[in-house]
Structure 1
Amino acid sequence: MGTDPVSHFIQVRDGLRLHARLHGEPDDRRLPVVCLPGLSRTAEDFDRLARHLAAEGRRVLALDYRGRGLSAWDPEPRNYDLQVESNDIADVLTALGITRATFVGTSRGGLHIMLLGALRPAFLAAAVLNDIGPVIDPAGLTRIKGYIGKAPPLPDWDATLAALKRIGAGHFTDLDEAEWRAYAELTFQEKDGRIVGRYDPGLMVNLAAMDLDKVPELWPQFDGLAALPLLVVRGANSDLLSPATAAIMLARHPGAALVTVAGQGHAPLLRDAPTIDRIAAFVARQDGQAGQVG
């Protein structure tokens, strides 16, 4: 297979068909890596990181949650819920024979890691939390709530790139034109002659109902990761994971390490070589632990 990904489609417990990308081959000497994307993001966000890890001889799974990427849309938008998705993750891992892995979670994916630590800890050997913590900054949530599921279809890629820059240029200050174009292609897709998001707009239903003044803090769930090796990645311009929260995370988890990605906001794209190298080195250090993938 080399480093080219292979798509797998798995029917989960309620019958919905989900998509996962698998890179690399099984190797009993190396723990697999499971990559969980952000709220409206897809498995392809991890493509550059996954190819790097697979080239080192490691199996990597990246998941499209229901309603995102190549996974089926749910006819009931309220099922775009952390608990439902957590069950989906467990179903996909079981179907693909993954019993234990290092998890990399971007934003919502990091919330899933914390929930798995509380509900299904046997899956977790180590964790990378990408720009997410137990306290979510309301400013970032307000910004996300303002555009998820609300963007109209766009006529062409030039208009799409301009729209993405309007939303993100203040958060991603170091991207060149080629990187902006790659970011746009990971965020949008062409469908019926128009450019649209790569997710079901129904994602906005639960988000719209969220009271931003009552978002719970997840310190107990974060503390449940205390026995695991932990790497925290934070965008220097992030409006979702504050420096203060990141500092408390390191204080409460003395074995944790922090990587700050300059020039990027929420969430770091995990496409630059220094960040990929740091994650790859962290992943490699976990290989003494038991783990396998079918």
Structure 2
Amino acid sequence: MRRNHLRYMLPQGFFTLAWTEWGPTEGMPVLCVHGLTRSGRDFDALAAALAAEGRRVLCPDLPGRGRSDRLPDPALYIPPTYIAALSHLLARLDGPVDWIGTSLGGICGMVVAATPGHPVRRFVLNDIGTHVPKESIARIGDYLGQETEFADLPALEAHLRAVHAPFGDLSDAEWRHLAETSARPAPGGRVALHYDPAIAAPFRGATPAEDMDLSPLWARVTVPVLLLRGVESDLLLPETARAMAQKPGVRLVEIPGCGHAPALMDADQIGLIRDFLG
């Protein structure tokens, strides 16, 4: 694993986007983009497996997460900002990429793959779809940023196990890995979650009047898609997934024992992605 970073520009200034990278630099690139409160380190197991087959795998920390810079205005924590940052990384790669996007990372991938001249060759869309129920958006807003500091690493891990139980039946080692890569030092010997609590600002006080509708983006996505859905997911409903799977070039696979969103850490899930990317 290698650590890299670049500077990207927003109207408010220049900021750092960090990522971890696996595999040979000459390998066909795979970009793995994480969910709302997560980081690129969530993909360590998947990245190692793909790198072993000669792929170059890049796992960025979205702005305000992990080792990437926090932003000066909470209102910047929205998808257009994330896509602006990621576009700098795509420009550096300057060629075709495969995109693996979990939740928010999938939304960013949809925007990119729907844009004329995009570099996306194949697209793994992990538990996000054309319609996101307003109730699920409200549920995320309820926990987001509410508890970000903990007495020690075991307490932080217990929080992750509760909040992210829908990730699936992870082993103790996998939960510990998520905890260790989600923690940063805090005053008084405490530990804090890696993300800027301000990412919750766009959710606060916002009660969605209707479901999020991403169907205009989806209609413009024409690359081959592997659509993954946790069987118990409340973000990607079964009827939404089935409708999306009617599009030519889309393969739907439902992952048992998971909600939102499959962690992409076990051998079966990694095998699905490896086979799809070829």
TM-score w.r.t. the length of structure 2 is 0.92
- 1:44 is matched with 41
- 2:143 is matched with 147
Given the alignment of the two structures, is residue 16 of structure 1 paired with residue 15 of structure 2, yes or no? yes
Decide which moves more: 14-23 or 186-195. 186-195
In structure 2, what is the Cα distance between the partners aligned to 1:68 and 1:179? 20
Q: How does 1:173-188 map to 2 (within 5 A)?
A: 174-188=169-183
- Other structure's SS at 1:91 match: helix
In structure 2, what is the Cα distance between the partners aligned to 1:267 and 1:160? 19
**Aligned equivalent of 1:77, options 60, 74, 98:** 74
In structure 2, what is the Cα distance between the partners aligned to 1:129 and 1:265? 14
Quick one: structure 1 residues 91 and 172, their matched pair in 2 at CA, closer, same or farther if it must change by over 3 Å? Answer: closer
- Other structure's SS at 2:156 match: helix
- Other structure's SS at 1:52 match: helix
Q: How does 1:185-264 map to 2 (within 5 A)?
A: 185-192=180-187, 193-225=189-221, 227-251=222-246, 253-264=247-258
Given the alignment of the two structures, is residue 108 of structure 1 paired with residue 110 of structure 2, yes or no? no
Q: Contact 1:172 / 1:237 at 8 angstroms: preserved in 2? A: no
Deviations 1:124-164 (A, max 9, x none): 11100001011112333222111111114110123223323
**Higher RCO (C-alpha under 8 Å, 6+ residues apart):** 1
- Other structure's SS at 1:89 match: helix
Quick one: structure 1 residues 221 and 69, their matched pair in 2 at CA, closer, same or farther if it must change by over 3 Å? Answer: same
Given the alignment of the two structures, is residue 273 of structure 1 paired with residue 272 of structure 2, yes or no? no
Task: Name the aligned partner's letter for residue 48 of structure 1.
Answer: A
Q: Contact 1:138 / 1:240 at 8 angstroms: preserved in 2? A: no
Decide which moves more: 55-64 or 113-122. 113-122
Quick one: structure 1 residues 190 and 265, their matched pair in 2 at CA, closer, same or farther if it must change by over 3 Å? Answer: farther
Q: Contact 2:74 / 2:199 at 8 angstroms: preserved in 1? A: yes
Task: Name the aligned partner's letter for residue 223 of structure 2.
Answer: L
Provide the aligned length of Structure 1 versus Structure 2: 274
- Quote how far apart the aligned CAs of 1:13 are: 1.4
- Quote how far apart the aligned CAs of 1:56 are: 0.4
Decide which moves more: 179-188 or 199-208. 179-188
In structure 1, what is the Cα distance between the partners aligned to 2:41 and 2:138? 25
- Quote how far apart the aligned CAs of 1:210 are: 3.6
Q: Contact 2:168 / 2:262 at 8 angstroms: preserved in 1? A: no
Task: Name the aligned partner's letter for residue 174 of structure 1.
Answer: D
Gaps of 5+ in 2: none
In structure 1, what is the Cα distance between the partners aligned to 2:51 and 2:153? 31
- Other structure's SS at 2:177 match: helix
- Other structure's SS at 1:70 match: coil
Gaps of 5+ in 1: 285-294
- Quote how far apart the aligned CAs of 1:215 are: 4.2
- 1:289 is matched with none
- Quote how far apart the aligned CAs of 1:121 are: 4.3
TM-score w.r.t. the length of structure 1 is 0.87
Deviations 1:57-113 (A, max 9, x none): 111111111100000100111111111211111112213x23221100000011011
